[in-house]
Structure 1
Amino acid sequence: MGHSVGFILVLSLLAVAPPCFCGKTIAGGYLYPQFYDHSCPKAQEIVKYIVAKAVAKEARMAASLLRLHFHDCFVKGCDASILLDSSRTIISEKRSNPNRNSARGFEVIDEIKAALEKECPHTVSCADIMALAARDSTVLTGGPNWEVPLGRRDSTGASLSGSNNNIPAPNNTFQTILTKFKLQGLNIVDLVALSGSHTIGNARCTSFRQRLYNQSGNGQPDYTLDQSYAAQLRTNCPRSGGDQNLFFLDFVSPIKFDNSYFKILLAYRGLLNSDQVLFTMSAVSRELVKKYAYNQELFFQQFAKSMIKMGNISPLTGYRGEVRKNCRKVNAY
């Protein structure tokens, strides 16, 4: 009898707090989707509403918010360090090569934070806002949905060098990009699936110019780039000037989250070097590109899994970090 009572007690405890192992157990806490169910039940609704408003106003914002989460997680983990402005003690990651003149969406995060501070003060972290905004941006543009594990806290510092060194660059070799992913605990499947986020958004002329004019330092264009497409790109991306001119990463359906990005790679029309090498430089990634090009459902499933995995990179939990009142600066105590 004693055993069955004990068993029932255990079951009732599990019913109250389901053991969700969808996040890493780190320093006295793990991430789980129900984290704000009691402390801020409207949190996800508020994030979704403001993201939807921002994307309706400017379709490109969906890709920008997705990228912000990625550029945050690859530096010291998903801790909202990218949102910190420079101060007396902080050199902002916004100044790094991958972020300068290109990271955007900060005002949308500010608006979400202000609304959440009004609804439930000092409760929802900036890091969790970014993870939710990335998911909502994906769904709003037609991509997959997933439950976002929550409970991250915000860093009290930034890393300019981490931002410069850890984030894959458009002109990195395939091996360098894969190494940067592996250092974050992500594998080749995650690399190919997450690159599929380039199904939405833009890139600047400066990030692929070398492919048009001087790919290997010999004054020749990249031979893996479809030549008629290259000629088209040159009209708006000259040898010099026009650095900030924007181009769709996926010219087939630039504001729809689908698998046409992978179909474009099959046609050697990937805009960035870091896109096209997925098809040209590795037999394993080449097969994955083909699979996702022929099966959108498979791509969506893997993208959701890889986003959850990326969102789990070294989160601050428990008593580590803080919940910033203003995402741009650390709290004053």
Structure 2
Amino acid sequence: MGRVTTIQVIALFSLLIIFPNLAFAQLKQNYYANICPNVETIVRNAVKAKVQQTFVTIPGTLRLFFHDCFVKGCDASVMVASSGSNTAEKDHPDNLSLAGDGFDTVIKAKIAVDAVLGCRNKVSCADILALATRDVVVMAGGPSYAVELGRLDGLNSTAASVGGKLPKPNMNLDQLNTMFAANGLTQADMIALSGAHTLGFSHCNQFTNRIYNFSKKSPVDPTLNSTYAAQLQQQCPKNVDPRIAINMDPNTPRTFDNMYFKNLQQGKGLFASDQVLFVDSRSKQTVNSWASSSQAFNNAFIAAMTKLGRVGVKTGQNGNIRRDCSAFN
């Protein structure tokens, strides 16, 4: 009997090495079936109402989910407001550009869920964010997919935990792969998630080095389409307000499609970290494949989002269900 126990311990230890986020095993579809059976409909209706108010809801919510999961896992810790002596995640410089409409979407959906008899304080902010993210993708014309649920909300949120955890606009393929691999995501997952840049916008100060002072030999990044570079210079003249918003996808910025990959083929990736996916031979084939097949991209995106949603899931004593998404209980 003792020998079996030892073998079991060794087997479990091996699993923990291979799958450091075994906590995601608690996640399952229809997790709230007996707790709050209509939660998905309630969240979807709240998201729909918010999207009708402003389109920014869509890219704002999608980006919020990514930024949450990449820092200490998908636990809605990015939602928490700074208080007292604690500076929270959302106030780290890398998160200051997160759209307020993304936060507002989750808060309103949480209020809608808690207003339903039997659902109050039963559904985590982390799960509501995951559901809302799926819903905004669908509302932009993207694929629908089943969302695994059962996450708890994190018990801490610090700006100090953010540094070095989120991709930068100038990263190369090795840097991107290393960062995503730290979250259990492959190069294919990284490229699929980068495809979310088919929606939303950035700001001039995130890429002006590519159009004005790339190098001594070439002021403009040579991997940029020259016509596109000229358009960007027109939209972002020198000394322009850095908060000016520029669409990530110059062709179909309000539609979730595979245009992102077609843009990369044309040298129209806004960030160097976008364009490198086509420039680097190790990722170019994937870009070409998804540029030619929206179905292949959609399938890869669903797989990557499902894996992303499992990162750093909180269970048991490591989390709870927040009454207010922006504050600890």
Instruction: Report if TM-score (shorter chain) is over 0.5.
Output: yes
Change (3 A) 1:25 1:251: closer
Aligned residues: 308
Within-5 A mapping of 1:112-261: 112-119=109-116, 120-216=119-215, 220-261=219-260
The CA deviation at 1:52 is: 1.2
State the shift of 1:315 in Å. Answer: 0.2
Q: Is the 8 A contact 2:24 2:312 kept in 1?
A: no
Closer/same/farther in 2, CA of residues 123 and 29 from structure 1, 3 Å limit:
farther
Q: Distance in 2 between matches of 1:212 and 1:80?
A: 36
Question: Secondary structure of the equivalent of 1:114?
Answer: helix
Match of 1:43 in 2: 39
**Deviation at residue 182 of structure 1 after TM alignment:** 0.7
How far off is 1:320 after superposition? 2.4
Corresponding residue for residue 322 of structure 1: 320
* Structure 2 residue identity aligned to 1:330: F
Indicate the RMSD between aligned Cα atoms, in angstroms: 1.8
Secondary structure of 1:247's aligned partner? strand
In 1: Cα distance, 2:24 partner to 2:184 partner: 21
- Give, in whole Å, the separation in 2 of the partners of 1:102 and 1:217: 33
The structure-2 alpha-carbon separation of the partners of 1:217 and 1:310, relative to structure 1 and needing over 3 Å to count, comes to farther
Give, in angstroms, the shift of residue 160 of structure 1.
1.6
Query: Could you say if the C-alpha distance between residues 171 and 230 of structure 1 is closer, same or farther in structure 2, counting changes exceeding 3 Å?
Result: same
Match of 2:106 in 1: 109
Matched, 1:100 2:99: no
CA–CA distance in 2 between the matches of 1:117 and 1:89?
30
> What are structure 2's unaligned runs of at least 5 residues?
1-18
Partner residue, 1:86 = 82
> 2:127·2:150 contact (CA, 8 Å) conserved in 1?
yes
103-112 or 176-185, which moves further after superposition?
Answer: 103-112
> Structure 1 residues 280, 321: closer, same or farther in 2, change over 3 A?
same
User: Counterparts of 1:74 and 1:25 in 2: how far apart (Å)?
Assistant: 13
Query: Would you say 1:278 and 2:274 are equivalent positions?
Result: no
8 Å CA contact 1:25, 1:31 repeated in 2: no
Task: For residue 235 of structure 1, give the secondary structure of its aligned residue in structure 2.
Answer: helix
Distance, in Å, in 1 between the alignment partners of 2:24 and 2:103 is 30
Shift of 1:173: 2.3
Question: 1:33 and 2:33 equivalent?
Answer: no
Give 3-state SS (helix, strand or coil) of 2:162's partner.
helix
Decide whether the 8 Å contact of 1:199 with 1:260 is kept in 2.
Answer: yes
Cα deviation 1:71-103 (Å, max 9, x = unaligned): 000000101110010112532111222211334
Shift of 1:218: 6.3
Counterpart residue type for residue 107 of structure 2: D
Contact 2:23 2:313 in 1 (8 A): no
Query: Which structure: greater helix fraction?
Result: 2
Q: Report the Cα distance in structure 2 between the residues aligned to 1:28 and 1:80, rounded to whole angstroms.
A: 15
Alignment partner of 2:115: what SS?
helix
- Matched to 2:297, the amino acid is F
Give TM-score, length-normalised by structure 2.
0.89
Give, in whole Å, the separation in 1 of the partners of 2:290 and 2:97: 31
Which shifted more, 150-159 or 27-36? 27-36
Q: How far apart, in 1, do the equivalents of 2:167 and 2:141 lie?
A: 26
Deviation for aligned residue 1:311: 0.4
1:28 CA displacement:
9.6
Aligned partner of residue 203 in structure 1, secondary structure? strand
Within-5 A mapping of 1:40-79: 40-79=36-75
Percentage identity across paired residues of the two chains = 38
Residue pair 1:225, 1:269 contacting (<8 A) in 2 also: yes
Residues 110/232 of structure 1: CA separation in 2 closer, same or farther (3 Å cut) = same
Q: Name whichever of 317-326 and 67-76 sits farther off.
A: 317-326
1:217–1:312 CA distance, 2 compared to 1 (3 A): farther
Counterpart of 1:194, as a letter, is L
Change (3 A) 1:299 1:34: same
- Paired position in structure 1 for 2:305: 307
Instruction: Give the 3 Å change call, closer, same or farther, for CA 28–233 of structure 1 in structure 2.
Output: closer
Q: CA deviation at 1:251?
A: 1.5
Deviations 1:100-155 (A, max 9, x none): 13343111111111111222111110110111111111111111111100000001
Structure 1 length as normaliser, TM-score? 0.88
Residue in 2 that maps onto 1:290: 288
Higher mean C-alpha deviation, range 163-172 or range 149-158: 163-172
CA distance in 1 between counterparts of 2:121 and 2:225 reads: 52
The residue aligned with 1:5 is none
Alpha-carbon offset, residue 219 of structure 1: 6.7
Give the stretch that moved more between structures: 146-155 or 317-326. Answer: 317-326
Aligned-residue offset at 1:214: 1.5
State the Cα deviation string for residues 186-220 of structure 1 (Å, max 9, x = none). Answer: 01000111111111111111111111111247671
Deviations 1:31-86 (A, max 9, x none): 00111111011111111111111122212211110110000000001011100101
State whether residues 24 and 313 of structure 2, in contact with CA within 8 Å, keep that contact through their aligned partners in structure 1. no
